[in-house]
Amino acid sequence: MAKKIKPTSDQLSRRDFIMRGGAVVGGLAMAPSILSNTGAFAARARGENVGGKLSVLNWPLYIDEKAEAQFKKATGINLKYSEALNDNNEFFAKYQEPLSKGSNVGFDIAMPTSWMANRLLKLGYLQKLPLTDAPNVANLSPGFQSPAWDPSGEYTLPWQTGMTGLAYNIKVTGRELTSANDLFDPKFKGKVGMLSEMRDTVGLTLLGDGVDPATVTYKQARPSMRKLQKAADNGQIRRFTGNDYQDDLVSGDFAVCVGWSGDVAQLVLENEDLRFVIPDEGGMRFADVMVWVKGSKAKAQVAAWLDYFYTIDNAAQLEAFIQYISPVANIQPALAALDPVAAKSELIFPPESVEARLKTFKILNAKEEEQFDNAFAKITGS
Protein backbone atom coordinates (compact mmCIF):
# COMPACT_ATOMS: atom_id res chain seq x y z
CA MET A 1 0.00 0.00 0.00
CA ALA A 2 1.32 3.39 -0.90
CA LYS A 3 1.72 5.85 1.90
CA LYS A 4 0.27 9.31 1.98
CA ILE A 5 0.61 12.32 4.12
CA LYS A 6 -2.54 13.80 5.35
CA PRO A 7 -2.20 17.11 7.06
CA THR A 8 -3.49 17.07 10.60
CA SER A 9 -4.14 20.07 12.72
CA ASP A 10 -1.27 18.91 14.86
CA GLN A 11 1.05 19.01 11.88
CA LEU A 12 -0.12 22.41 10.83
CA SER A 13 0.38 23.95 14.20
CA ARG A 14 3.74 22.33 14.53
CA ARG A 15 5.02 23.62 11.24
CA ASP A 16 3.50 26.94 11.88
CA PHE A 17 5.35 26.99 15.12
CA ILE A 18 8.65 26.20 13.49
CA MET A 19 8.20 28.54 10.60
CA ARG A 20 7.33 31.49 12.76
CA GLY A 21 9.44 30.73 15.77
CA GLY A 22 12.71 29.63 14.29
CA ALA A 23 14.24 30.44 17.65
CA VAL A 24 13.25 27.02 18.89
CA VAL A 25 15.42 25.41 16.27
CA GLY A 26 18.27 27.72 16.95
CA GLY A 27 18.03 27.27 20.69
CA LEU A 28 18.50 23.58 20.35
CA ALA A 29 22.13 23.92 19.45
CA MET A 30 22.71 24.87 23.03
CA ALA A 31 20.49 22.15 24.45
CA PRO A 32 22.34 19.35 26.23
CA SER A 33 23.25 16.63 23.78
CA ILE A 34 21.56 13.34 24.07
CA LEU A 35 24.19 11.49 22.19
CA SER A 36 27.71 11.21 23.37
CA ASN A 37 29.54 11.81 20.10
CA THR A 38 27.75 15.06 19.49
CA GLY A 39 28.97 16.32 22.82
CA ALA A 40 32.46 15.37 21.80
CA PHE A 41 32.15 17.33 18.58
CA ALA A 42 30.71 20.35 20.28
CA ALA A 43 33.71 20.49 22.57
CA ARG A 44 36.10 19.91 19.73
CA ALA A 45 34.48 22.51 17.53
CA ARG A 46 34.34 25.10 20.25
CA GLY A 47 37.85 24.43 21.39
CA GLU A 48 39.39 24.28 17.98
CA ASN A 49 39.04 27.40 15.94
CA VAL A 50 39.67 26.43 12.34
CA GLY A 51 39.48 29.92 10.85
CA GLY A 52 40.14 30.71 7.23
CA LYS A 53 37.64 30.99 4.42
CA LEU A 54 35.13 28.62 2.92
CA SER A 55 32.78 29.15 -0.02
CA VAL A 56 29.82 26.86 -0.43
CA LEU A 57 27.47 26.67 -3.41
CA ASN A 58 24.12 25.09 -2.67
CA TRP A 59 20.53 24.95 -3.86
CA PRO A 60 18.16 27.64 -2.61
CA LEU A 61 16.59 27.03 0.79
CA TYR A 62 18.75 24.01 1.43
CA ILE A 63 20.01 25.08 4.82
CA ASP A 64 18.33 26.66 7.80
CA GLU A 65 19.43 30.18 8.36
CA LYS A 66 20.60 29.61 11.90
CA ALA A 67 23.01 26.91 10.79
CA GLU A 68 25.12 29.34 8.79
CA ALA A 69 25.73 31.55 11.80
CA GLN A 70 26.22 28.60 14.11
CA PHE A 71 28.78 27.06 11.80
CA LYS A 72 30.70 30.32 11.61
CA LYS A 73 30.65 30.65 15.36
CA ALA A 74 31.63 27.06 16.04
CA THR A 75 34.55 26.98 13.62
CA GLY A 76 35.63 30.59 13.26
CA ILE A 77 35.48 30.08 9.50
CA ASN A 78 34.56 33.01 7.32
CA LEU A 79 31.75 31.33 5.38
CA LYS A 80 30.55 32.57 2.03
CA TYR A 81 27.34 30.73 1.33
CA SER A 82 25.72 31.04 -2.08
CA GLU A 83 22.37 29.68 -3.25
CA ALA A 84 23.10 30.01 -6.93
CA LEU A 85 22.72 26.34 -7.78
CA ASN A 86 19.40 26.02 -9.60
CA ASP A 87 19.87 23.28 -12.11
CA ASN A 88 22.49 20.56 -12.52
CA ASN A 89 23.00 21.11 -16.23
CA GLU A 90 23.12 24.85 -15.86
CA PHE A 91 25.65 24.40 -13.07
CA PHE A 92 27.81 22.27 -15.33
CA ALA A 93 27.53 24.68 -18.24
CA LYS A 94 28.57 27.56 -16.01
CA TYR A 95 31.56 25.99 -14.32
CA GLN A 96 32.85 23.44 -16.80
CA GLU A 97 35.39 25.82 -18.28
CA PRO A 98 37.12 26.94 -15.06
CA LEU A 99 36.81 23.48 -13.51
CA SER A 100 38.56 21.90 -16.47
CA LYS A 101 41.47 24.27 -15.95
CA GLY A 102 41.46 23.79 -12.20
CA SER A 103 41.16 27.53 -11.80
CA ASN A 104 39.16 29.31 -9.15
CA VAL A 105 35.41 28.78 -9.60
CA GLY A 106 34.38 30.89 -6.62
CA PHE A 107 33.40 27.99 -4.37
CA ASP A 108 35.10 25.13 -2.55
CA ILE A 109 32.13 22.86 -1.96
CA ALA A 110 29.04 22.41 -4.11
CA MET A 111 26.04 20.11 -3.80
CA PRO A 112 25.11 18.81 -7.27
CA THR A 113 22.92 15.75 -7.66
CA SER A 114 24.72 12.40 -7.59
CA TRP A 115 24.70 11.79 -11.35
CA MET A 116 26.26 15.18 -11.97
CA ALA A 117 28.82 14.53 -9.24
CA ASN A 118 29.67 11.32 -11.09
CA ARG A 119 30.25 13.28 -14.30
CA LEU A 120 32.50 15.74 -12.48
CA LEU A 121 34.37 12.84 -10.92
CA LYS A 122 34.90 11.12 -14.28
CA LEU A 123 36.15 14.35 -15.81
CA GLY A 124 38.64 14.70 -12.99
CA TYR A 125 37.23 17.92 -11.59
CA LEU A 126 37.04 16.71 -7.98
CA GLN A 127 39.41 16.19 -5.10
CA LYS A 128 39.20 13.42 -2.55
CA LEU A 129 37.28 14.67 0.47
CA PRO A 130 39.34 15.06 3.66
CA LEU A 131 37.27 12.34 5.34
CA THR A 132 39.89 11.35 7.88
CA ASP A 133 39.86 14.87 9.29
CA ALA A 134 36.10 14.69 9.76
CA PRO A 135 35.46 11.94 12.31
CA ASN A 136 31.71 12.49 12.43
CA VAL A 137 31.42 11.30 8.83
CA ALA A 138 31.29 7.89 10.49
CA ASN A 139 27.63 8.72 11.08
CA LEU A 140 26.89 8.23 7.37
CA SER A 141 24.03 5.81 6.75
CA PRO A 142 25.32 2.39 5.70
CA GLY A 143 23.39 2.58 2.42
CA PHE A 144 25.61 5.40 1.15
CA GLN A 145 29.03 3.98 1.91
CA SER A 146 29.86 3.03 -1.67
CA PRO A 147 27.19 4.37 -3.97
CA ALA A 148 27.10 3.73 -7.72
CA TRP A 149 28.09 7.31 -8.50
CA ASP A 150 31.19 7.18 -6.31
CA PRO A 151 32.15 3.53 -5.74
CA SER A 152 35.09 4.30 -3.46
CA GLY A 153 33.00 6.74 -1.44
CA GLU A 154 35.97 9.11 -1.31
CA TYR A 155 34.81 11.95 -3.53
CA THR A 156 31.24 12.60 -2.50
CA LEU A 157 29.25 12.74 0.68
CA PRO A 158 25.47 13.17 0.63
CA TRP A 159 24.15 16.47 1.85
CA GLN A 160 20.55 15.41 1.64
CA THR A 161 18.69 12.59 -0.07
CA GLY A 162 15.05 12.10 -0.92
CA MET A 163 12.39 10.38 -2.93
CA THR A 164 10.72 11.21 -6.22
CA GLY A 165 7.06 10.28 -6.45
CA LEU A 166 3.67 11.74 -7.25
CA ALA A 167 2.45 14.96 -5.71
CA TYR A 168 -1.21 15.65 -6.27
CA ASN A 169 -4.13 17.81 -5.33
CA ILE A 170 -6.95 15.55 -4.22
CA LYS A 171 -9.58 18.18 -4.79
CA VAL A 172 -8.66 18.32 -8.47
CA THR A 173 -7.97 14.61 -9.01
CA GLY A 174 -11.07 13.57 -7.07
CA ARG A 175 -9.36 10.37 -5.93
CA GLU A 176 -6.27 9.04 -4.26
CA LEU A 177 -3.49 8.11 -6.67
CA THR A 178 -1.33 5.01 -6.42
CA SER A 179 0.18 4.45 -9.86
CA ALA A 180 2.89 6.18 -11.87
CA ASN A 181 0.55 5.79 -14.84
CA ASP A 182 -1.94 8.15 -13.21
CA LEU A 183 0.26 10.85 -14.76
CA PHE A 184 -1.08 9.71 -18.12
CA ASP A 185 -4.74 9.51 -17.12
CA PRO A 186 -6.63 11.47 -19.81
CA LYS A 187 -8.90 12.84 -17.10
CA PHE A 188 -6.02 15.01 -15.90
CA LYS A 189 -5.21 16.30 -19.36
CA GLY A 190 -3.56 19.71 -19.23
CA LYS A 191 -3.16 19.50 -15.46
CA VAL A 192 -0.10 17.26 -15.28
CA GLY A 193 3.33 18.54 -14.35
CA MET A 194 6.64 16.83 -15.00
CA LEU A 195 10.12 17.70 -13.80
CA SER A 196 12.72 19.03 -16.19
CA GLU A 197 15.18 16.84 -14.27
CA MET A 198 15.32 14.07 -16.87
CA ARG A 199 16.15 11.23 -14.50
CA ASP A 200 13.17 11.87 -12.26
CA THR A 201 10.54 12.21 -14.98
CA VAL A 202 11.87 9.44 -17.21
CA GLY A 203 12.59 7.25 -14.18
CA LEU A 204 9.03 7.40 -12.93
CA THR A 205 7.64 6.79 -16.42
CA LEU A 206 9.92 3.77 -16.82
CA LEU A 207 8.71 2.39 -13.50
CA GLY A 208 5.12 2.81 -14.67
CA ASP A 209 6.02 0.77 -17.76
CA GLY A 210 7.67 -1.92 -15.70
CA VAL A 211 11.24 -1.05 -16.72
CA ASP A 212 13.91 -0.79 -14.05
CA PRO A 213 15.63 2.63 -14.28
CA ALA A 214 18.64 1.24 -12.43
CA THR A 215 19.60 -0.95 -15.37
CA VAL A 216 17.79 0.65 -18.32
CA THR A 217 19.35 0.93 -21.76
CA TYR A 218 18.28 3.60 -24.21
CA LYS A 219 16.68 0.96 -26.39
CA GLN A 220 14.58 -0.29 -23.49
CA ALA A 221 13.57 3.25 -22.66
CA ARG A 222 12.31 4.10 -26.15
CA PRO A 223 8.64 3.12 -25.64
CA SER A 224 8.51 5.23 -22.47
CA MET A 225 10.16 8.16 -24.24
CA ARG A 226 7.56 7.90 -26.99
CA LYS A 227 4.83 7.82 -24.37
CA LEU A 228 6.21 11.01 -22.86
CA GLN A 229 6.52 12.65 -26.26
CA LYS A 230 2.90 11.82 -27.02
CA ALA A 231 1.77 13.19 -23.67
CA ALA A 232 3.68 16.41 -24.34
CA ASP A 233 2.32 16.72 -27.87
CA ASN A 234 -1.32 16.09 -27.04
CA GLY A 235 -1.36 18.50 -24.14
CA GLN A 236 -1.55 15.91 -21.37
CA ILE A 237 1.54 17.55 -19.83
CA ARG A 238 1.00 21.16 -18.97
CA ARG A 239 4.50 22.18 -18.06
CA PHE A 240 7.99 20.90 -17.37
CA THR A 241 9.24 22.55 -14.22
CA GLY A 242 12.11 22.64 -11.84
CA ASN A 243 11.34 22.86 -8.20
CA ASP A 244 8.70 25.43 -9.08
CA TYR A 245 6.19 22.63 -9.58
CA GLN A 246 5.27 23.54 -6.01
CA ASP A 247 3.93 26.87 -7.13
CA ASP A 248 1.61 25.25 -9.72
CA LEU A 249 0.52 22.60 -7.26
CA VAL A 250 -0.46 25.13 -4.62
CA SER A 251 -2.35 27.32 -7.07
CA GLY A 252 -4.26 24.29 -8.40
CA ASP A 253 -2.82 24.55 -11.90
CA PHE A 254 -1.48 21.00 -11.52
CA ALA A 255 -3.73 18.12 -10.53
CA VAL A 256 -0.78 15.76 -10.32
CA CYS A 257 2.92 16.05 -10.95
CA VAL A 258 6.25 14.40 -10.41
CA GLY A 259 7.52 15.82 -7.15
CA TRP A 260 10.04 15.42 -4.39
CA SER A 261 9.30 14.17 -0.88
CA GLY A 262 9.51 16.78 1.80
CA ASP A 263 8.31 19.62 -0.39
CA VAL A 264 4.68 18.61 -0.07
CA ALA A 265 4.93 18.63 3.70
CA GLN A 266 5.65 22.35 3.43
CA LEU A 267 3.01 22.93 0.80
CA VAL A 268 0.06 21.60 2.78
CA LEU A 269 0.37 24.82 4.74
CA GLU A 270 -0.78 26.69 1.66
CA ASN A 271 -3.21 24.11 0.39
CA GLU A 272 -4.35 21.26 2.58
CA ASP A 273 -5.61 19.15 -0.32
CA LEU A 274 -2.08 18.21 -1.35
CA ARG A 275 -0.70 14.68 -1.06
CA PHE A 276 2.54 12.86 -1.84
CA VAL A 277 2.81 9.20 -2.70
CA ILE A 278 5.45 6.72 -3.83
CA PRO A 279 3.58 4.82 -6.56
CA ASP A 280 3.00 1.09 -6.24
CA GLU A 281 5.35 0.50 -9.18
CA GLY A 282 8.13 2.28 -7.31
CA GLY A 283 9.71 5.68 -6.95
CA MET A 284 13.08 7.27 -7.54
CA ARG A 285 15.74 7.95 -4.99
CA PHE A 286 17.94 10.99 -5.37
CA ALA A 287 20.91 12.33 -3.48
CA ASP A 288 22.44 15.79 -3.60
CA VAL A 289 26.06 15.29 -2.68
CA MET A 290 28.89 17.48 -1.42
CA VAL A 291 31.91 17.62 -3.67
CA TRP A 292 35.23 19.37 -3.18
CA VAL A 293 36.35 20.93 -6.43
CA LYS A 294 39.80 20.87 -7.93
CA GLY A 295 41.67 24.09 -7.40
CA SER A 296 40.32 24.68 -3.90
CA LYS A 297 42.87 24.67 -1.13
CA ALA A 298 40.50 25.01 1.81
CA LYS A 299 41.11 21.48 3.05
CA ALA A 300 40.79 22.15 6.78
CA GLN A 301 37.65 24.22 6.23
CA VAL A 302 36.07 21.58 4.01
CA ALA A 303 36.78 18.97 6.70
CA ALA A 304 35.22 21.22 9.33
CA TRP A 305 32.12 21.66 7.15
CA LEU A 306 31.69 17.92 6.59
CA ASP A 307 32.28 17.19 10.22
CA TYR A 308 29.90 19.86 11.42
CA PHE A 309 26.93 18.70 9.34
CA TYR A 310 27.53 15.05 10.12
CA THR A 311 27.12 15.53 13.86
CA ILE A 312 23.82 14.09 14.93
CA ASP A 313 22.46 17.31 16.42
CA ASN A 314 23.36 19.48 13.48
CA ALA A 315 22.06 16.93 10.99
CA ALA A 316 18.79 16.79 12.95
CA GLN A 317 18.49 20.55 12.93
CA LEU A 318 19.11 20.61 9.18
CA GLU A 319 16.56 17.84 8.73
CA ALA A 320 13.91 19.76 10.66
CA PHE A 321 14.26 22.47 8.03
CA ILE A 322 14.77 20.55 4.77
CA GLN A 323 12.57 17.54 5.53
CA TYR A 324 13.83 15.27 2.77
CA ILE A 325 15.82 12.28 4.01
CA SER A 326 18.98 12.74 6.02
CA PRO A 327 22.01 10.68 5.02
CA VAL A 328 23.10 10.75 8.66
CA ALA A 329 22.12 7.65 10.59
CA ASN A 330 20.33 7.65 13.92
CA ILE A 331 19.10 11.21 13.92
CA GLN A 332 15.57 10.17 14.86
CA PRO A 333 15.87 10.82 18.63
CA ALA A 334 17.55 14.17 18.13
CA LEU A 335 14.92 15.15 15.58
CA ALA A 336 12.15 14.07 17.95
CA ALA A 337 13.37 16.62 20.46
CA LEU A 338 13.17 19.32 17.81
CA ASP A 339 10.18 18.26 15.85
CA PRO A 340 8.24 15.26 17.14
CA VAL A 341 6.00 15.03 14.08
CA ALA A 342 8.88 15.05 11.63
CA ALA A 343 10.55 12.32 13.63
CA LYS A 344 7.53 10.10 12.99
CA SER A 345 7.11 11.06 9.34
CA GLU A 346 7.34 8.22 6.88
CA LEU A 347 8.66 10.67 4.32
CA ILE A 348 11.73 11.37 6.40
CA PHE A 349 12.14 7.85 7.72
CA PRO A 350 10.61 5.68 4.99
CA PRO A 351 9.62 2.20 6.14
CA GLU A 352 11.20 -0.90 4.61
CA SER A 353 8.23 -1.45 2.30
CA VAL A 354 8.77 1.93 0.68
CA GLU A 355 12.54 1.78 0.75
CA ALA A 356 12.36 -1.49 -1.18
CA ARG A 357 10.53 0.21 -4.04
CA LEU A 358 13.01 3.05 -4.53
CA LYS A 359 15.36 3.01 -7.49
CA THR A 360 18.33 5.15 -8.42
CA PHE A 361 18.77 6.00 -12.08
CA LYS A 362 21.58 4.16 -13.80
CA ILE A 363 24.88 5.95 -14.26
CA LEU A 364 24.74 6.66 -17.98
CA ASN A 365 27.78 6.70 -20.20
CA ALA A 366 28.38 9.77 -22.33
CA LYS A 367 26.70 8.36 -25.44
CA GLU A 368 23.62 7.12 -23.61
CA GLU A 369 23.34 10.37 -21.75
CA GLU A 370 23.38 12.33 -24.99
CA GLN A 371 20.67 10.08 -26.42
CA PHE A 372 18.49 10.49 -23.36
CA ASP A 373 19.12 14.24 -23.17
CA ASN A 374 18.34 14.81 -26.85
CA ALA A 375 15.13 12.82 -26.72
CA PHE A 376 14.11 14.57 -23.53
CA ALA A 377 14.89 18.03 -24.91
CA LYS A 378 12.55 17.23 -27.77
CA ILE A 379 9.84 16.17 -25.35
CA THR A 380 10.09 19.41 -23.43
CA GLY A 381 9.82 21.33 -26.69
CA SER A 382 13.27 22.85 -26.48
| Cα 123 → chain centroid | 23
Helix (H, G, I), strand (E, B) or coil at 245: helix
Between 104 and 353, name the residue whose CB sits nearer to other proteins: 104
**Cβ of residue 26: shortest distance to other proteins, in angstroms?**
15
Question: Toward other proteins, which CB reaches closer, 225 or 379?
Answer: 379
Kindly state the smallest distance separating residue 263's Cβ from other proteins, in Å: 8
Nearer to other proteins, 84 or 336 (CB): 84
Q: How far apart are CA 3 and CA 276, in angstroms?
A: 8
- For 65, list phi and psi in degrees, rounded to 5: -65, -30
Which amino acid would we find at residue 295?
Answer: G
Cβ distance to other proteins smaller for residue 48 or 83: 83
CB of 104 to other proteins, least distance (A): 8
Report how far apart, in Å, the C-alpha atoms of 183 and of each of 178, 187, 201, 214, 224 are.
10, 10, 10, 21, 13
CB 16 to other proteins: min, Å? 7
CB of 232 to other proteins, least distance (A): 4
CB 261 within 8 A of CB 347: yes
Contact 276, 224 (CB under 8 A): no
Cβ 260 to other proteins shortest distance, Å: 10
The residue (of 42 and 67) whose beta carbon lies closer to other proteins is 67
Residues 368, 281, 234, CA angle at the centre, nearest 5°?
65
Closer CB to other proteins, residue 92 or residue 153? Answer: 92
How far are the Cα atoms of 126, 173, 175, 204, 219 from residue 88, in angstroms, in the given order?
Answer: 16, 31, 34, 19, 25
Q: Which residues bind other proteins (CB under 8 A)?
A: 16, 19, 57, 59-61, 82-87, 89-90, 92-98, 100-101, 103-107, 119, 123, 190-191, 232-233, 235, 237-244, 246-247, 250-253, 266-267, 269-271, 366, 370, 373-374, 377-382
